[in-house]
Amino acid sequence: MFVKLTVFYEAPFWIGILEKKDFFYSVARVVFGNEPTEPEIYELIQEQYLKIYFTEKVENLSSVSLKKNPKKLQKEAGKEIREKKFLKKAFEVIQAEYEKKKVILKKKTKEEKEAEIEKKFQMKQSKKKEKHRGH
C-alpha cells in the first residue's frame, strides 16, 4: 500500500489530501485550518489515520512502484507543484463522491417530505371521521 499526503493552501484554510493506492485508489480530504507543523502532520498519520474517512475505492489503473530513490521522489514532487497538475485525479474522485452523496441526500429528503405530507393527510382524515362519529 502506498499513501501520499499533499498539503496546500486553499484560501482561507490549509488542506491535506491523502491518496491511498494499492489495487484500488481512494482519497481523503483533511482541513487543517492554520498551516500545519510537522508534529501535527505526524500526529495525523500516526494517531488519526484510522479515523479518516476515505472515498469509495476506485480501480487503480496505474502501476504502483513502492521503491523509488528519495531524490527522484523529491524531484517529482517539485515538478507536480510547479505544473499545478497535482491531485487532479484526487479532486475528481472527491467530486464524484460529493455528487453521489448529494443525490442520496436529495432522495432521502424527498422521501421524508412525502412521509410528512402523508402523515398530515392521515391526521386530517382521522379528524374528519371524529367529527362525523358524533352525529
Q: Which residues span the domain enclosing 58?
A: 2-86
Asked whether residue 120 is domain-assigned, the answer is no
For the record, the C-alpha cell of 61 comes out as: 489503473
Asked whether residue 65 is domain-assigned, the answer is yes
Q: What pLDDT digit, counting tens, does each position of 79-131 carry?
A: 877 776 667 778 888 888 889 999 999 999 999 999 999 999 999 999 888 88
Asked whether residue 54 is domain-assigned, the answer is yes
Asked whether residue 96 is domain-assigned, the answer is no
**Counted domains in the chain:** 1
Q: What pLDDT digit, counting tens, does each position of 13-26 carry?
A: 898 888 888 888 88
Asked whether residue 34 is domain-assigned, the answer is yes
pTM for this model (two decimals): 0.56
Asked whether residue 119 is domain-assigned, the answer is no
CB proximity list for 32: less than 8 A, separation 6 or greater: 7, 13, 14, 15, 16, 40
The span from the CA of 74 to the CA of 77, in Å, is 5
Cell 496546500 locates to 8
Asked whether residue 78 is domain-assigned, the answer is yes
Asked whether residue 91 is domain-assigned, the answer is no
